[in-house]
Amino acid sequence: MIKTVVADGNEIFRYGLSSILREDGFEILSEVDNGALVLTAFESVEPQLCVLSFTMPEINGIQLANKIVAKHPHAQVLILAQKASEEVLNEFLDSGASGLLLKSAHRLELLDAAHKIANGEHYLGKQFSKMMTREYIRLARLRKNKGESITAREREILALLIDGLTSSEIATKLFISPRTVDKHRTNLLKKLGLKNTPALVRYALENKSLT
């Protein structure tokens, strides 16, 4: 029997989830409807697996996963999300959870994920796995073409951004206008498929050949 805690704000879903898990050898030690009570329940019963909804009353599943793993580094947490989106995937990747699955997933995929995570493995649902593959391919293509697409001036500006200089400071240093600096920065964001300057700097630091 795999000792398990189940947490979801919807009683019907929580009951159905627990029933599916029980039928396959999971011992449901606690069912929780409020995020604020999950950590207490976890510490009370010390489960092998904690199944949390991404959206929970009081505290969401990602925050809970981080709190649980911070106190119990070997805790195994499966997050169930309502929809497959980049936001959900990114929050999961930054968390301490071991698995991510859509609530609409087939029961067999749920059981497969639950067993693997309870045994210390990681699991990413099919939809999220496809998103990761697409992003990996996109980034691989960007890396392949970055040497040809990024100009010498853009590399120069990127290096100064990494050093923490503002647009005005970069403009003064390179004897160009702040508007020209901003234009180069915008071009860099478009070429690398990034959303803002912090992401640009982080990407550059991880890919030293850019500068």
Give the C-alpha separation, 94 to 87, whole Å: 11
- Each residue's pLDDT tens digit, 149-161: 788 888 889 888 8
Are both 85 and 13 inside the same structural domain?
A: yes
Are both 20 and 112 inside the same structural domain?
A: yes
Nearest one of 98, 129, 102, 128 to 115, comparing CA atoms = 98
Does 132 map to a domain?
no
Does 139 map to a domain?
no
Are both 52 and 150 inside the same structural domain?
A: no
Q: Are 49 and 142 in contact (CB under 8 A)?
A: no
Are both 153 and 189 inside the same structural domain?
A: yes
Does 96 map to a domain?
yes
Q: Are 51 and 114 in contact (CB under 8 A)?
A: yes
- 207 has a pLDDT exceeding 90: no
Are both 185 and 99 inside the same structural domain?
A: no
| Domain enclosing residue 79, as ranges | 2-125
Residue 132's pLDDT is what?
79
Q: Comparing 65-79, 111-125, 195-209, which segment has the lowest mean pLDDT?
A: 195-209
The mean pLDDT of 104-127, rounded to a whole number, is 93
CATH number for position 205:
1.10.10.10
Which parts of the chain fold into alpha helices (H)?
11-23, 35-45, 61-71, 86-93, 107-118, 126-149, 152-162, 167-174, 178-192, 197-206
Are both 177 and 77 inside the same structural domain?
A: no
**pLDDT band with cut points at 50, 70 and 90 for residue 208:** low
Are both 29 and 94 inside the same structural domain?
A: yes
Give just the sign of the alpha carbon dihedral 60, 30, 101, 104. negative
**pLDDT band with cut points at 50, 70 and 90 for residue 210:** low
CATH number for position 102:
3.40.50.2300
The number of distinct structural domains making up the chain is 2
Most confident range (mean pLDDT) of 56-70, 104-118, 188-202 is 104-118
Nearest one of 73, 86, 79, 2 to 38, comparing CA atoms = 79
Are both 90 and 175 inside the same structural domain?
A: no
Are both 109 and 180 inside the same structural domain?
A: no
- 211 has a pLDDT exceeding 80: no
Does 136 map to a domain?
no
Does 130 map to a domain?
no
Are both 21 and 95 inside the same structural domain?
A: yes
- Each residue's pLDDT tens digit, 117-144: 999 999 999 888 888 777 766 666 666 6
Does 140 map to a domain?
no
Are both 12 and 115 inside the same structural domain?
A: yes
Residue 142's pLDDT is what?
63
**pLDDT band with cut points at 50, 70 and 90 for residue 4:** very high
